[in-house]
Chain A
């Protein structure tokens, strides 16, 4: 049962990703990406990472993608113009390189002796993904990165305000 869910979610994620890349309208691309994020959130749940699944929806889809959609509509961007020739040299090279890269990565996974051989989700995984354990880690072992991240967010706020301000 779990495997069926996995395969469905995997197919869904890949399809939406490919469609996102191929769309000419930026808004439709954004919608497809949102769908992709939903699939990923479900996959996180399959991996027993409950907090992160929720965060994926709240932060990524709810905040980041909403921001992107805002900008698309603010700038009133039209469809990407058709380019002649449609498939340029750059596209061919990209395809070749991407295929090569993918094959390399898959090859690595197929090698014997790598951790990718692990077959089962660890027993303690369910307790790992909970809010309590995440909170314990964040305020325990990862306290310093946590505080630094808050600083980073402050800087980002300042930066975006300054950058997007109209002159004068």
Chain B
């Protein structure tokens, strides 16, 4: 029996992989070794995580929280932060998702990045990313979690700008990477403020200490409102919600495995994890919960509308990610924490699948990403097509695939615990999701070929298709972990996580869930709207292709607004970025740096020079003047002594 403590090694393996590939990867000319080390690092982590999970299953539900103290990190006066991992039901679920999906993406990358001169660098960064993400998930205090938070932000910067000399839209990939990092930084300001407030209020940063103290507080305590709002600002940055989502579409500049890993399966879900971890704090701040749910619902709906008209295959998926993240926050906001985490898991499966599939398409079409130039690829890329279709059905929420169970749970909780407005936004978003995803499938794989001459699409190698198949299987059956009571299941997923969210559930004081007729009605409506979306997509993009053109002509302004993502980027550019840049130039640079600091520095030098010029006049070269000064000094000193 391997002690539970060994799960700490799951964090160590990716770090060793990073060191190996980062330090000597350049010299190893053999791609196989680099890829093997990178994949083994994450695979080993997954194995250890599985072992930990099964061991945990053997423990009684109340005793599944384990703390692994590694070493003291900061000890300064009364402040203390240690490197310590907390392993409980929630963190083990996240760990399995990160290492499992991460492993599949590593294997895929070995095929996708074949021949790239920065192959070793890619795997080093990927491993570093997994290491940071695991640190974030397993941390037992806010400061270590923030370290992981920043680590994943750094890795996303490194990986988005991986092909650093490539052009991307109006700038370079480096600009997209910078945008991601800076927007995240704005969110981090909120996160840090939250951490400061937590320390001031609770006197410690350890989760267990803070949450135990919080459980004794009453609902509506003002300081908790500010703490949770500040933390949520950080979350909107990392998890791409309104208003800080603008970095995620641009992050598509990076290689597709990066988009799959970071922006679909793992990093953006760090925000969801953080809110779930702090569930008791949020439960005590109903106003913030309302904010979270509203922001989630709004993001889910609006991102879906934008995804409807995009023509780049990865952009569609990017807006889809933003929209699905909105669903997760909708769930968290109405108090359905385990539903949110459930959707994290299913979304990891099918979104990673969709991104990797799109990578296979891009690979086959020699880096073409415009879906208007695709079509009819089902014959040339059979495996890719079939797995992509599975992912699409899953994300549309058609039973019995996984997306149906998780999304439906969210929509039911939004209706019963939130308000019908929230449900309506989610419902409409679900319909749009089905529509734009089936549109994507239709334009990319079905219909006639619209490619340019000379393009010969061919199926991807096994190292790329195998992960696709595995993920398709998971997307198909993953939902059965959380079959709701209304359909006869025991919702094992929710039960597994119940002890973690018990303090929060206590505060929220929901009535015991019962099976109601309304739930079946809504379930039926969800399935109907998904099928309607599929049907419309078939109509508009396969059978009667003139309809989309007609719609565009009828509503040109609406189309333009959607195509330009509601002009949010332009708004930020004008309202925030330009004033900040000009303000810095005028005030900070010209005003302070040149006038004050430079003047002080140069002035010091000039004063010294002037003093020197003045003082050297004492050196007259005549001995008598020296004696004179000598005598004057003696007179003064004796006089002073006499006066005393």
> In the complex, which residue of chain B has the Cβ closest to the Cβ of A105?
B638
What are 12 sample pairs from A and B whose C-beta atoms fall under 8 A apart?
A90-B625, A90-B628, A93-B632, A97-B628, A97-B631, A97-B632, A100-B635, A101-B638, A104-B635, A104-B639, A104-B642, A108-B642
> Which chain B residues border A108 with CB–CB below 8 Å?
642
**B624 CB-CB contact with A under 8 Å:** yes
**A15 CB-CB contact with B under 8 Å:** no
CB–CB A101/B642 < 8 A = no
> Which chain B residues border A90 with CB–CB below 8 Å?
624-625, 628
**A107 CB-CB contact with B under 8 Å:** yes
Q: Interface of B with A (CB < 8 Å)? A: 624-625, 628, 631-632, 634-635, 638-639, 642
CB–CB A94/B635 < 8 A = no
CB–CB B638/A104 < 8 A = yes
> Which chain A residues border B624 with CB–CB below 8 Å?
90
CB–CB A94/B628 < 8 A = yes
* Complex Cα–Cα for A156 and B639 (A): 37
Q: Return B144 CB to nearest CB of chain A, in Å.
A: 73
CB–CB A101/B631 < 8 A = yes
> Which chain A residues border B631 with CB–CB below 8 Å?
97-98, 101
* Complex Cα–Cα for A104 and B632 (A): 12
> In the complex, which residue of chain B has the Cβ closest to the Cβ of A94?
B628
> Which chain A residues border B635 with CB–CB below 8 Å?
97, 100-101, 104
Q: Return B389 CB to nearest CB of chain A, in Å.
A: 106
* Complex Cα–Cα for A97 and B631 (A): 7
Contact with B along A82-121 (1 / 0, CB 8 A): 0000000010011001101100100110000000000000
Q: Return A97 CB to nearest CB of chain B, in Å.
A: 5
* Complex Cα–Cα for A107 and B643 (A): 11
> Which chain B residues border A104 with CB–CB below 8 Å?
635, 638-639, 642
A contact residues, total (Cβ < 8 Å):
10
> Which chain A residues border B628 with CB–CB below 8 Å?
90, 93-94, 97
The B contact surface, by secondary structure, is helix
CB–CB B639/A100 < 8 A = yes
The A contact surface, by secondary structure, is helix
> Which chain A residues border B634 with CB–CB below 8 Å?
101
Q: Return A89 CB to nearest CB of chain B, in Å.
A: 10
Q: Using a Cβ cutoff of 8 Å, how many contacts connect chains A and B?
A: 23
* Complex Cα–Cα for A90 and B625 (A): 8
> In the complex, which residue of chain A has the Cβ closest to the Cβ of B639?
A104
> Which chain B residues border A94 with CB–CB below 8 Å?
628
* Complex Cα–Cα for A97 and B639 (A): 12
Q: Return A11 CB to nearest CB of chain B, in Å.
A: 26
Q: Return A98 CB to nearest CB of chain B, in Å.
A: 8
> In the complex, which residue of chain A has the Cβ closest to the Cβ of B634?
A101
> Which chain B residues border A100 with CB–CB below 8 Å?
635, 639
Q: Return B642 CB to nearest CB of chain A, in Å.
A: 6
* Complex Cα–Cα for A90 and B631 (A): 12
> Which chain B residues border A98 with CB–CB below 8 Å?
631
Give the 6 A-B CB pairs with smallest separation, nearest first.
A100-B635, A104-B638, A101-B635, A97-B631, A97-B635, A97-B632
* Complex Cα–Cα for A72 and B200 (A): 90
* Complex Cα–Cα for A54 and B61 (A): 117
> In the complex, which residue of chain A has the Cβ closest to the Cβ of B636?
A100
> Which chain B residues border A97 with CB–CB below 8 Å?
628, 631-632, 635
CB–CB B625/A107 < 8 A = no
A90-B624, A90-B625 known; A107-B632 Cβ under 8 A? no
* Complex Cα–Cα for A98 and B631 (A): 8
> Which chain A residues border B625 with CB–CB below 8 Å?
90
* Complex Cα–Cα for A108 and B641 (A): 11
* Complex Cα–Cα for A122 and B259 (A): 109
> Which chain A residues border B638 with CB–CB below 8 Å?
101, 104
Q: Return B207 CB to nearest CB of chain A, in Å.
A: 79
Q: In the complex, which residues 61-98 of chain A have their Cβ closer than 8 Å to any Cβ of chain B?
A: 90, 93-94, 97-98
Q: A104-B635, A104-B639 are in contact. List 7 more A-B contacts (CB 8 A).
A: A93-B628, A93-B632, A97-B628, A97-B631, A104-B638, A104-B642, A107-B642
* Complex Cα–Cα for A97 and B634 (A): 10
- Of B631, B634, B635, B638, chain A has the most CB atoms within 10 Å of the CB of B635
Q: Return B634 CB to nearest CB of chain A, in Å.
A: 7
* Complex Cα–Cα for A120 and B628 (A): 37
Q: Return B619 CB to nearest CB of chain A, in Å.
A: 16
> In the complex, which residue of chain B has the Cβ closest to the Cβ of A98?
B631
Q: Return B631 CB to nearest CB of chain A, in Å.
A: 5
> Which chain A residues border B632 with CB–CB below 8 Å?
93, 97
Q: Return B492 CB to nearest CB of chain A, in Å.
A: 103
* Complex Cα–Cα for A29 and B635 (A): 28
* Complex Cα–Cα for A98 and B634 (A): 11
Q: Return A161 CB to nearest CB of chain B, in Å.
A: 25
> Which chain A residues border B642 with CB–CB below 8 Å?
104, 107-108
Q: Return A135 CB to nearest CB of chain B, in Å.
A: 37
Q: Return A58 CB to nearest CB of chain B, in Å.
A: 30
* Complex Cα–Cα for A151 and B632 (A): 35
Q: Return B623 CB to nearest CB of chain A, in Å.
A: 12
Q: Return B625 CB to nearest CB of chain A, in Å.
A: 7
* Complex Cα–Cα for A57 and B625 (A): 33
> In the complex, which residue of chain B has the Cβ closest to the Cβ of A101?
B635
Q: In the complex, which residues 12-46 of chain A have their Cβ closer than 8 Å to any Cβ of chain B?
A: none
> Which chain B residues border A93 with CB–CB below 8 Å?
628, 632
> In the complex, which residue of chain A has the Cβ closest to the Cβ of B631?
A97
> In the complex, which residue of chain B has the Cβ closest to the Cβ of A102?
B635
* Complex Cα–Cα for A94 and B634 (A): 13
* Complex Cα–Cα for A104 and B635 (A): 8
Q: Return A165 CB to nearest CB of chain B, in Å.
A: 24
> Which chain B residues border A101 with CB–CB below 8 Å?
631, 634-635, 638
* Complex Cα–Cα for A94 and B629 (A): 10
* Complex Cα–Cα for A101 and B639 (A): 9
* Complex Cα–Cα for A61 and B635 (A): 31
Q: Return A27 CB to nearest CB of chain B, in Å.
A: 22
* Complex Cα–Cα for A168 and B536 (A): 119
